[in-house]
Every structure is written in C-alpha cells, then in structure tokens.
Structure 1
C-alpha cells in the first residue's frame, strides 16, 4: 500500500504536505525529489513504513520523517540545501570521512552541501528535519557580514539541542509547527513568515559554529550609529513613497558622505540599495499573502518599481524564482 497527498495549511501559505509509502523504491524516490540523490538500504524492505509530513515556506522547509525500520542512507553531495535534523524518538548517526556523529533527541546533526555522507537511522527513529536553501543562507550571511561570501559555509556536524542557543533554535522550529494547527496565526499568513524564515536562518548562523563564526562575531560587536538607525527607520516607513537620497540624508540629519560610510560599515550596502532590499521584501511579502488579490504589476508599482522588466530580473536574482512563481505558490 502506498499513499501520497499534498495539502495546504490553514492559510494559503505556507503549504503543508503529507506523504506515505510502504514500498522502498517509492520512499527513496520521494526523498530524492525532496532533497538529495541517495542509495537507501534496509534489512527488511517489507517493513518500510515511510512517513513524511511538514510545511514548505519560501526558503526553508520544516518536516517530520520516519521509515518505520532501520535504514542506511548513502547520500551523494547536495548542492542546493543544508539539512538540520533532530530525533524526536530513536537515534541516528552521520559518517563523513573518518568522523561519525551520533544523534538523539538531545543532539542534532547538520549536513552541508557538497558533502558525501552516510546516514543511519534506527527502526524507531522519527525526527524533525529543517531544509534550508543554500542561496538563502549565503544571502543572509552576506547581509550580516556586509561582505561577499566567497567560500561555502561549513557547519560543525554535531549540534547541542539540549541547552544553549541551538536548543532555543529548535524551540522556535517546534513553535512554528504548533502554530500551523491554528486557523488564525501570525505564523500561517505570508508577510510575517518572511521574517520568521530570516530569523531561523540568522539563528542558525549565530548559534551553530561554522567557518565564518569568528568573522561574524567581530561584525556583531559594531554599534549601529543613531543616524543610520534613523535612516533605516525612515526608509522602512516610507518605502512605498518616491524617496531620494536627499530625503534620506535629511531624515538622518548628517552629511551624505558620512551616511554612506555608516551604511557601508554597518550594513554592507549603500542607503539606496537598502531601500531596494526593503521594497523587494515588501513585494515578496504581499505576493505570499493570502489576502492580496492585486496582480504582480500593481504590487510592484505600489512598492516603487516602475521598470517592470528590471524588477523581474532583480527579483529572480534575489529570490531564485520569478514573481509569478511566488504568486502561484499561494494560489
């Protein structure tokens, strides 16, 4: 017996899904489609009871998965995703080269792109799995650092989920799951979810050690000057208006050159680039919202994008998909 269903959550976004397969090949194909190419081995194929359910946001996915029997998964290197998992029951272990990391409900594991690894799961293992797009994580790190991310982000594979910052991170993940049960929730509708995703990605970067940790720690000690905060607040409040650099400088109350220097040092971008980021995020939030019936052109114009061809190109470069694909996901 094998069943497969996809359903939407209480709101139009994010989408929730539920897959069930009792056939080994179908379970393998489902996970190949979901995240990675792999070889799946089990001692007793007849015992497979694959269950995978969760919610799909824009840049990340939160789900629960189990096979119903002990499995060994030989993963080929992923290119597009980071995989972060934590058992709810049972155990799992990750082998990368000569290093093996054991995982239970107190200790999670991280699999990074371009790593060939072997994953084993006990027969009673049921785990939470967070899949994060590599492009979203690198973009977030770029925003936090203010400089280009030249090398792949490589996390330590072992994650302390019992105490500390990553324990807090997993509590956020579980709360996001719980909120999907409510018909009305800030964590079900579109605009807020963009901020939730950003918070989860940033939380992973701050909480789990990786090859940029020291560099990130240095940047976070920088105090954002009050004139930069004034300019940021002014931009966010008036992003739909016809803003000029002169009006932003006037709101900040300092010379243009000093404002540019402050933005470059604290944000890594110029004030007008910051405005475009705010506007892009605003458009995406509306397109993901379940209550927005305006067409894409109307939404883009409302946020100050008058050159629609350029807007579409920049949107795809920023989010990895066309505005029409974002809107279609929430229909």
Structure 2
C-alpha cells in the first residue's frame, strides 16, 4: 500500500536493531505492551514505515526475527489495531482462544483486549491503528447517543465480507490517489478530517461489533422530529440550547419530544446536550499538541458552569481534562522522535 503525503499528515519512520527503540515506536502506534525476544542469537531487524492522518496511523511493520508481542495486564492499549500481513500469519492467543491473521482475513483487536501475538521473523504486516476517541466519537455521532460500553469488534475481518473488501478498496483509493491523472492536492488540508471520518465510519458499518445492531435498527427507526432536534443540537452546541428551541425546531410538543429522547436514546434532552458538549471538548483536548487553557476551551463549547464541568467530564471519560491534555502532549512528544 502506498501512502500519499497530501492525504496523510506526518511520516513516521523507525528502523532499529535495539529492542528499547522498537518498544518506543510500538508505544506510539499501539500503546503499552511487552516485546519478548524468542531468539537472542539473531539480531532484531525492526522497522515501521508509515504515515499518520489525525487519529489514524498506517504503515508496514516488520520485526525481522521471531518475537512475541504481549499486552500489559494492567494497562490498555491506546488504539484499535488492524493487522493484515502481506507475508506470514501472526498467531493471536487470548485466554484459551487462538486465531490467525492473514492477507485474506485480517485481524482487529480492541484497546482493552488482553492477548499475545506470536510473529515469525519473515512476517511483513500492513498495520493500521485507530485512536479510541476517534472511533468512539464517530460511533456516537452515527447512532446519535452516548456509548454505554466500549466498542468490541469481532476479531477476524473476513475476506468473504463484501463490505470489508470494499473498505480495503476505499483505503487503497484514499492513500494512492496521487497515482491518478487528476490532482486535487490544493483541497487536502480542508478535507483531511473528512477522509479520516469516512474511513472510520465505513469500518464501523462494515466490520461486525457490539453496536452493529444499534446502527442497523436505531437510526432508521428514529422519528423525523427527533432527527431534527438532534441535528439542531449538533450544529448549535456552542450556544445555549433550551427546550423551547428544540420544541420549535422539532415541531412537536415538549412532552412528545422528551418521550422520544428517553425511548430512543435512553437519556433526557438536557442530558444529551451535556454529553454531546463534553464529547466535543474531549475530542478537542485529545488532539492538542501543547498545553492549552482548559477554561477557554470549555467556554468556547458553551460550558457556563465551570464548577461542575471537571466533575462531569471525569464521570463521562474516566479522567480529568488536564489528564486528557497531558496524555495527548506526551503522545505528540513521543511521536516527534520518529517524524522524518
């Protein structure tokens, strides 16, 4: 797979025989892990040649010797990771279950999955990682409500699934458009976020996961008046939104709209507005590259009661706003070690 710099933001290059340096690169593109050397005689010949587009990293991963990649029992990875080997078949072990990744049947694992992968020295992997916040915010936008549990994909991306085959074709198209006869590079800076969302949304629509039935059933069944109210919230979240606004936009009574929110989204309209506002702030803080004024960001997104903000934010995302920024800054600093 060839990657076009016009689509992707930054190049990530690492080539080393040092296990510690390889671990640093893997921490950036995957998250906490342990890399076990199965042969101390032959040298490591690690390389990752890839690119980053916002919350998506993709490239070619080679270890060059027999190793085991093992997740940490007490720490989750930062990304949903997809492995599609060009050569070899990495073997995943998860408790008593085992499965293999191949070119025809790629594997996808979630950040909270605990497993180890046995990887042969000849293995060459096409590797894609997608940040947890990007997947979660895209899915919550898709189904129109907060997520009540983490996203858990089926591990095998079956080559018999025509939607998955189409997703690989879409990925190839986006990342190799520079080979085509026409040129729209001048538009790329404005369109990069759209490409990112299209790739993630199409993955959520293609690969089975624990919210697939919600996507299939819920949105299409939502009444038009509820869709109008949700659309108004999404486009006016920076402003103060009251029930009278939603009643006017939806065209139905406050009682009928309130019942639709509770029946379809399992929350009140006010709770949904608070959730969506917090989600927008979380998404912005997850992408910052240096220290930012949290108060200014919160007020920009319509937060008026700063005293409750930090508490509600931590209840929703399991960390404080300052912790979200700290993690994003550390990840960016680590990334700078490998940007060519």
TM-score (norm 2): 0.69
Aligned with 2:48 (options 41, 48, 51): 51
Question: Is the counterpart of residue 20 in structure 1 residue 15 in structure 2?
Answer: yes
**Cα deviation 1:259-297 (Å, max 9, x = unaligned):** 11222333343333343445445556777899xxx9654
* Cα distance between partner residues in 1 of 2:326 and 2:70: 32
Does the 8 Å CA contact 1:64/1:128 hold for their aligned counterparts? yes
Does the 8 Å CA contact 1:155/1:211 hold for their aligned counterparts? yes
Question: Which residue pairs with 2:31 in the alignment?
Answer: 35
Does the 8 Å CA contact 1:70/1:124 hold for their aligned counterparts? no
Question: Which residue pairs with 2:228 in the alignment?
Answer: 230
- Structure 2, unaligned runs of 5 or more: 334-340
SS at structure 2 position matched to 1:246: helix
SS at structure 2 position matched to 1:110: strand
In structure 2, do the counterparts of structure 1 residues 35 and 171 end up closer, same or farther at CA, with 3 Å as the change threshold? farther
- Structure 1, unaligned runs of 5 or more: 1-8
Question: Which residue pairs with 2:94 in the alignment?
Answer: 96
Give 1:223 deviation, angstroms.
Answer: 1.7
Does the 8 Å CA contact 2:45/2:62 hold for their aligned counterparts? no
In structure 2, do the counterparts of structure 1 residues 132 and 51 end up closer, same or farther at CA, with 3 Å as the change threshold? same
Question: Is the counterpart of residue 66 in structure 1 residue 66 in structure 2?
Answer: no
RMSD of aligned residue pairs (Cα, Å): 4.4
Counting only pairs closer than 5 Å after superposition, residues 25-174 of structure 1 correspond to structure 2 as 25-32=20-27, 34-43=30-39, 45-46=42-43, 48-55=45-52, 57-58=54-55, 61-77=57-73, 79-80=76-77, 81-97=79-95, 99-112=97-110, 113-133=112-132, 144=143, 149=148, 153-161=151-159, 163-174=161-172
SS at structure 2 position matched to 1:46: coil
* Cα distance between partner residues in 1 of 2:15 and 2:165: 29
SS at structure 2 position matched to 1:106: coil
May I ask how many residue pairs the two structures share in their alignment?
312
Give 1:67 deviation, angstroms.
Answer: 1.8
TM-score (norm 1): 0.70
Between the two structures, name the one with larger relative contact order (CA 8 Å, sep ≥ 6): 2
Give 1:39 deviation, angstroms.
Answer: 3.7
